[in-house]
Structures are given as structure tokens and as C-alpha cells.
Amino acid sequence: MEPILELSGLTKVYPGGLKALDDVDLTIRRGEIFALLGPNGAGKTTLIGAVCGLVRPSDGTIRAFGHDLATDWRKARSRIGLVPQELSTDMFEPVVRAVSYSRGLFGLPPDPERIEEILRSLSLWDKRDERIMALSGGMKRRVLIAKALAHEPDLLFLDEPTAGVDVELRKGMWAIIDQMRARGVTIILTTHYIEEAEEMADRVGIIRQGRIIAVDEKEALMSKLGRTEAHISLAEPLDTIPAAIAHFPVELEEGGHSLCYRGGDGTGRGKAEVADLTKALTRAGIDYTGIETRESSLEDIFVALLGEEA
């Protein structure tokens, strides 16, 4: 798929020596939702800032829509939108004026119909004349999204869009992101909520200490690094693993009262192997009283990857 954003050797060293980005290479494809995951201080916001003009890179190149951001920044920036992590907006302004300002700032002519469409899509139309300070936290965040969409960007950065938002609003936000994707907007999302990336993203990147340590399709990442875990409660305790099931990745737990299987690859192979294991147990005359299986989540993979890198 055609790249919309290409980072090459992107490095940012802050005065004082902190290396927030370390030789980052990353390509974002048109129309995808890319989730950038990482712990606090990993460099997610710095990466967004470097693309959006808030941070001056120390080294490397950024190309957006084929334009080099160092030289052709006007053309590139006019097509990029940013929803910041903090609720940063003039709280005294009415909603519609704030959103119209954003459109004008990006050099577009006034378009009340378009502004109305954006506000309606975000359920803000009824609040258009309210001062932003009078809105709830969730609505304020939606105002920031409306401001970012006002100039009809092709690439949108959402920096922790659901931070501090309750579960219901978070799901509402996911629906909004889905709408934007449907309109063809490419979205780069940073989040602490792995569940969010699992729900929304086409591809996932994991960043740690300024370095991208993994980038892949979400499904591929889960397939490569995913695992199935099964706990089989035995009717009678075992002292050792019987030869009949020794070829399975199993171990005894709870003093031999439970058999634990860890294997598979996130594509369902683990589940099939657990089924084979139970058949093998039956054939060997080993009785069991219960089975509990669990597929590893993106969060497990994330934690495991960060653990490996540490």
C-alpha cells in the first residue's frame, strides 16, 4: 500500500542529553490505523511532535505525502491533523468559533456546512454556542477532535485520545475513530490501553526508550508472538509427566494436581493442540475434572516484548 508517512533515522536528543527518539524508521500506509504503543516516556509524544512541527528533530528525515517536512513543511502540514493528549484549547471560546478558527488557521475558506457536519458527527452540534469550559471532559476531547478535523486532514494523530475517559465514552471514541477511518483518514494512535489498539488498529508499533522494537500487522504480531495457555485440573495428582503426553509443551503445577500447557502461536494452533492433549490424556487413562484455556492478548505480547528488551 502507498506510504503516507516515512520516518527515516529520526532521532531527537533533548538539551541535557535525553535521547527521546533513537534512529527511528517507520512507514505508515494510506488508510490504515496504526497504534503506537509504549510505556510512559518511551518517545510516543516526541515522535508525534516531530512530525507535527512541535519538536525539532536532531537527525533523520520525515516525509509526509512525498514532501520533506524540513523543506516543504507547508504542503505536508496542511494535510496533517493533531489531537493532543492534553485538553489544550481556549476554554472561553464557543465550540463553533474554536472549530472555525482551526479551519481558517490551516488556510481553508469558511465552510459552515462542513463545520456543522463535523460537529454533528461528534454529537457537538447542540453545544455549538457553549463555551468549551462549560462542557464535560469527554466533550472537550471531542472538541479537540473537531478542531483537528476542521481542515479535513488526510493523516490524523491521536495522542492518547481516551486517556482519563470512562469506558462508555471510550467506546464512543472508538466509534468516532471508525467513522474517520471510513472517510479514508489515516490514523496514528498512541495509547496506554492495549485493548484499544487490539480493538482498532490494523498495525501496531511498539516503542521503548525511543526505539521501535516491533512493527507488524496486529494479527501477524499476535500470530507470531501469541500463545495459548491451558490449565487442566487432574482427577488424581501426577508425580511426573507421563510419556504419552511428554511431546506436548506441558508442565505440572500445584503439586501435580494441575497440568499447564503453554504453546501455539496466536492463530488457533494452540487450541487444536490442547484438544489433542486432552485426547492423549484420555487414551493414557488420565482423568481430568476441568479445563481452562486462555489466548494471550496484545497486552501479554506487549509486556513480554518490553520484558525481553529490558
Partner 1 sequence: MIGWRSTWSIYKRELLRFLRTAFQSVLAPVLTTSLYFIVFGAAIGGRMPDLGGVDYGAFIIPGLLMLTLLGETTSNSSFGIYMPRFTGTIYELLSAPVGVAETLIGFVGAAMTKSLILAAIILLTARLFVDYSIAYPLLAMFYIMLVAAAFSLFGFILGIWADNFEKLGIIPMLFLTPLTFLGGTFYSIDMLPKPWDTIALANPIVYLVSGLRWTFYGSSDVNIWISFGITVAFLAVCTGVIAHIFRTGWRLRS
Interface residues with partner 1 (CB under 8 A)?
A: 14, 49, 52-56, 73-75, 77-78, 80, 82, 84, 86, 88-90, 92, 97, 101-102, 104-109, 147
Least distance to partner 1, CB of residue 108, Å:
7
Q: What is the DSSP letter of 91?
A: T
Least distance to partner 1, CB of residue 193, Å:
22
Q: Is the Cβ of residue 53 or residue 172 nearer to partner 1 in the bound state?
A: 53
Alpha-carbon span 57 to 44, nearest angstrom: 14
Least distance to partner 1, CB of residue 128, Å:
16
Least distance to partner 1, CB of residue 143, Å:
12
Q: Is the Cβ of residue 109 or residue 307 nearer to partner 1 in the bound state?
A: 109
- β-pairing, 186-191 with 33-37? parallel
Least distance to partner 1, CB of residue 83, Å:
10
Q: Is the Cβ of residue 106 or residue 288 nearer to partner 1 in the bound state?
A: 106
Backbone dihedral angles phi then psi of residue 46, each to the nearest 5 degrees: -65, -40
Contact 205, 37 (CB under 8 A): yes
The separation between the first and the last C-alpha atoms of the chain, rounded to the nearest angstrom, is 33
Burial 149-184 (b: 16+ CB within 10 A, else e): bbbbbbbbbbbbbbeebeeebbebbbebbeebbeee
Backbone dihedral angles phi then psi of residue 127, each to the nearest 5 degrees: -105, 15
Q: Is the Cβ of residue 101 or residue 288 nearer to partner 1 in the bound state?
A: 101
Backbone dihedral angles phi then psi of residue 275, each to the nearest 5 degrees: -65, -45
Residue from 265, 234, 235, 268 nearest 251 by CA: 234
Q: Is the Cβ of residue 41 or residue 290 nearer to partner 1 in the bound state?
A: 41
Q: Is the Cβ of residue 54 or residue 246 nearer to partner 1 in the bound state?
A: 54
Least distance to partner 1, CB of residue 111, Å:
12
Q: What's the one-letter identity of residue 141?
A: R
